[in-house]
A and B are shown apart, each in its own frame.
Chain A
Amino acid sequence: MGYVASMRLRLTEEESAFREEMRTFFTTEVPAEIREKVAAGRHLAKDDFVASQQILNAAGLAVPNWPVEWGGKDWTPLQKHIWHEEMQLASVPAPLAFNANMIGPVIANFGSQALKERFLPDTANLDIWWCQGFSEPNAGSDLASLTTRATRDGDDWIVNGQKTWTTLGQYADWIFCLCRTDPEAKKQAGISMLLFPMDAPGVTLRPIELIDGSFEVNEVFFEDVRVPGDCLVGEVNQGWTQAKFLLGNERVGVAPVAATKRALARTKEHATASNAIADPFVAARFAELENELLALELTALRVVANSADGKPHPASSVLKLKGTELQQAVTELTLDLAGEAGLASASSTVPEWAALAAPTYLNFRKASIYGGSNEIQRQIIAGTILGL
């Protein structure tokens, strides 16, 4: 009958060579001290992020998803996937998401030539550290109900209001900020995206301490902040289009498959060293998690194979939902294996991994909330994919 199997399992020779090239670069060019911090689950200093991203950028590997003329790569979706996975497997800090995945692509796609020339090179090189001014105390998942307003004053804008959950805002040089520019228009229609420095007069940042004791997020207050008219991205009242574009990109990178695999492998090492893995109950949890992660990774590869024009595949919601569930499940298994020792999180005598287990577990409760909460993802799956 002559049926020919067309399903293909392995990478081509070129793809394998590309993978090897990435692996070699990430494991030899990025300093081991930085990668060990990532692997151990410690918090990174600002300098670590900057040093790592500048090494990547010097090699043209910081912003492959951007247009080629601004430093992007003419790679296939699979090559981009391999780049991302190998970076995580090598414990290299990903290029700062606010720069590389969020405002960079927005400026490249919607900004004027002047805006591109002014910001894109410094954004790729992390000479400017951006933070995200989206969420507000009363606009979380319902982002379009934001109330921070920008009013005209000659050519300038005057910004008043408050943002919150501004991640790593304490390191930021600039903010990309959604503001209401037409209070009469209905929800989504009257929003614009403004860019301004965090040290502009009238900007105040207040750190928020999280349940693990870390300071990752901040409140940012604006009181009569003057923003020049040329710091508007694209057209007035088109900010929602840009925000949707940005959030779609955010969802793609937010399923950390390889990083979760790496975390699980490290926990398996600890369980092997302590012989906890000899307990069939513990072994079963590893077997189940490895299998679910494999299914997730294969799903990511399917999405990659089917993403034509760089637009997020609707199934990217599946990746975000399941990816963060598994990420959290690994932190939970690690904490369970640390057991009572996890209570000694400030001790210098329990092993570092056991001391970090509880703060990490608590910290990663965030993963199912950010990037569009997992309930928002379920809404997208039910509505967009299933038509419910």
Chain B
Amino acid sequence: MDFELDEEQRALRDAVRGLLKGYDPANDAERRRQVVATDPGYDTSLWGRYAELGLLGLPFSEEDGGAGAGPAEVAVVAEEIGRVLAPEPYVASVVLAGGLVAAAGSAEQRAELLGGLASGERLLAFARADRDGVAEPVIQGAAADTIVWMVGDELFVAPRPGDAIASRTYDGGRSARLVFDAAAATRIGSATDEATQVAFARARIAACHEALGAMESALAMTVDYLKTRQQFGVTLNRFQALTFRAADCYTAVELTRSIVTWATMVAAEGTAAQTIEAAARAKLQVAHAGRQIGQEAIQLHGGIGMTNEYVVGHYTERLTAINRWLGDERAMVGVLSESLADHTLLDPLG
């Protein structure tokens, strides 16, 4: 089992890190706050640079206007986004909404929608309608021009309704309330078949990587803080009550890295059923670790962690949001509880 990135993946990581360095709190503590403060809550010109780098078409086939890369490359991008809390809706728009079109759409629909997404000309958003045809929150539903709808067991695409209004989410993003208009929508396929379930699973795994990047940053910031902040005439790392909690956070992050990376390998090489299960496993671990790191990062910082001006609390916000998006702890435990009888024990090398 090989968990390391190859040379091209490292080059991709470095390119994305370079692209997003403006958001890195080590370079500019204000940039991200400025961007999320004004609509649409992300940097549209930077989104164009994502397109130039090929990131917006990364997971799609070359015939569909994409780069034909796999889950490992998507993971690299998502992790870098999480590391600096880049507010661009990469997982929501490219991996989830785009992924559903790639899984369910016809060749013409894929070429049109994914080609436009990859070039940065189109923004896709995903909306799940309730029984009344209403969807809320739709991540970046007001900025998107095309909505991928899940209505019952069917998937549709439709132009964004004209009256969509963006509201701010607690993690700095934007959501909208949209109403499904059947007359304006085109059916693209089933929302429950295997290919679509795999698309959801891949988005779930990408979200796990984004969370992992965020956790690693939040922990690193917290460790730095413990080394520099002084109380009682000494730095905080002299207090074992604090360093032991940081050690537990490190343990949680390492376990998360293992299972999330494994899920990506399964998505790249495994069957549909294996990918769907692995995504649930990764998401459940992220639910635990994300909560722990988010809560401890604030607690170990003390009062400064509560302030909107200081960045660590924003990591907690994002981790909190990811844990309630694309399947929460309860849903994942439910899925895995259902499958307990399928195996005597789990064998990742099998």
Point out residues on A near B: beta carbons under 8 Å: 1-11, 19, 78, 82, 261-262, 264-265, 268, 272, 277, 280, 283-284, 286-288, 290-299, 301-302, 305, 315, 318, 321-322, 375, 377-379, 381-383, 385-388
Q: Chain A contacts of B247 at CB under 8 A?
A: 377-379, 381-382, 386
Q: Chain A contacts of B268 at CB under 8 A?
A: 5, 7, 9
Q: Chain A contacts of B67 at CB under 8 A?
A: 1, 3
Which of B12, B261, B336 touches A290 (beta carbons < 8 Å)? B336
Q: List 28 A-B contacts (CB under 8 A).
A: A1-B69, A3-B73, A4-B6, A6-B9, A7-B4, A7-B265, A8-B1, A9-B1, A9-B268, A10-B269, A78-B1, A265-B344, A277-B341, A280-B337, A287-B336, A294-B346, A298-B259, A298-B261, A299-B255, A301-B3, A302-B257, A318-B255, A378-B247, A382-B244, A382-B247, A386-B223, A388-B226, A388-B243
Q: Chain B contacts of A292 at CB under 8 A?
A: 255, 285
Closest to A8 in B: B2
Q: Chain A contacts of B265 at CB under 8 A?
A: 7-9
How far is B257's CA from A261's CA once the two chains are assembled, in angstroms?
20
Which of B72, B226, B243, B345 touches A7 (beta carbons < 8 Å)? B72
Q: Chain A contacts of B262 at CB under 8 A?
A: 9, 294, 298
Point out residues on B near A: beta carbons under 8 Å: 1-6, 8-9, 12, 54, 58, 67-73, 223, 226-227, 237, 240, 243-244, 246-248, 250-251, 254-259, 261-262, 264-266, 268-270, 281, 284-285, 333, 336-337, 340-341, 344-346, 348-349
Q: Chain A contacts of B8 at CB under 8 A?
A: 2-4
How far is B256's CA from A383's CA once the two chains are assembled, in angstroms?
21
Closest to B223 in A: A386
Contact call B348/A301, Cβ cutoff below 8 A? yes
Contact call A261/B70, Cβ cutoff below 8 A? no
Beyond A7-B268, A294-B281, A378-B243: 4 further Cβ-contacts under 8 Å?
Answer: A10-B269, A262-B345, A298-B1, A386-B250
Closest to A85 in B: B349
- Pairs of residues from A and B, 8 with the lowest C-beta to C-beta distance, nearest first: A6-B6, A298-B258, A283-B337, A287-B336, A382-B243, A381-B247, A8-B2, A295-B255
B250 to chain A, nearest CB (A): 6
A267 to chain B, nearest CB (A): 11
Known: A295-B258, A382-B246. A7 touches B336 (CB 8 A): no
Contact call B2/A295, Cβ cutoff below 8 A? no
Q: Chain B contacts of A387 at CB under 8 A?
A: 223, 227
Closest to B2 in A: A8
Contact call B285/A322, Cβ cutoff below 8 A? no
Which of B12, B246, B261, B281 touches A3 (beta carbons < 8 Å)? B12
How far is B262's CA from A301's CA once the two chains are assembled, in angstroms?
11
Known: A388-B223, A388-B227. A305 touches B340 (CB 8 A): no
Known: A11-B349, A291-B284. A322 touches B251 (CB 8 A): yes
Which of B1, B6, B244, B345 touches A261 (beta carbons < 8 Å)? B345
Q: Chain B contacts of A288 at CB under 8 A?
A: 284, 333
Contact call A286/B246, Cβ cutoff below 8 A? no
Q: Chain B contacts of A321 at CB under 8 A?
A: 251
Q: Chain A contacts of B336 at CB under 8 A?
A: 287, 290-291
**Count the A-B residue pairs with Cβ separation under 8 angstroms: how many?**
172
Which of A2, A264, A286, A381 touches B250 (beta carbons < 8 Å)? A381
Contact call B70/A3, Cβ cutoff below 8 A? yes
Q: Chain B contacts of A386 at CB under 8 A?
A: 223, 243, 246-247, 250
How far is B68's CA from A318's CA once the two chains are assembled, in angstroms?
37
Closest to B249 in A: A386
Contact call A7/B261, Cβ cutoff below 8 A? yes
A27 to chain B, nearest CB (A): 14
Q: Chain A contacts of B269 at CB under 8 A?
A: 5, 9-10
Residue from A3, A297, A301, A377 having most chain B Cβ neighbours under 10 A: A3
Known: A11-B349, A287-B333, A305-B2. A1 touches B246 (CB 8 A): no
Known: A261-B346, A318-B250. A272 touches B255 (CB 8 A): no
Which of A298, A375, A377 touches B348 (beta carbons < 8 Å)? A298
How far is B54's CA from A387's CA once the two chains are assembled, in angstroms?
38
How far is B243's CA from A382's CA once the two chains are assembled, in angstroms?
6
How far is B295's CA from A35's CA once the two chains are assembled, in angstroms?
44
Q: Chain B contacts of A277 at CB under 8 A?
A: 340-341
Which of B70, B246, B255, B281 touches A322 (beta carbons < 8 Å)? B255
Residue from A4, A5, A265 having most chain B Cβ neighbours under 10 A: A5
Contact call A294/B348, Cβ cutoff below 8 A? yes
How far is B348's CA from A301's CA once the two chains are assembled, in angstroms?
10
How far is B3's CA from A21's CA once the two chains are assembled, in angstroms?
26
How far is B251's CA from A106's CA once the two chains are assembled, in angstroms?
30
Contact call B255/A6, Cβ cutoff below 8 A? no
Contact call B243/A6, Cβ cutoff below 8 A? no
Residue from B3, B12, B270 having most chain A Cβ neighbours under 10 A: B3
A179 to chain B, nearest CB (A): 31
Known: A4-B8, A301-B1, A386-B247. A286 touches B348 (CB 8 A): no
Contact call A9/B251, Cβ cutoff below 8 A? no
B134 to chain A, nearest CB (A): 30
A205 to chain B, nearest CB (A): 36
Closest to A258 in B: B345
A314 to chain B, nearest CB (A): 10
Closest to B344 in A: A265
Closest to A298 in B: B258
Known: A3-B12, A8-B2. A268 touches B340 (CB 8 A): yes
Residue from A322, A375, A381, A382 having most chain B Cβ neighbours under 10 A: A382
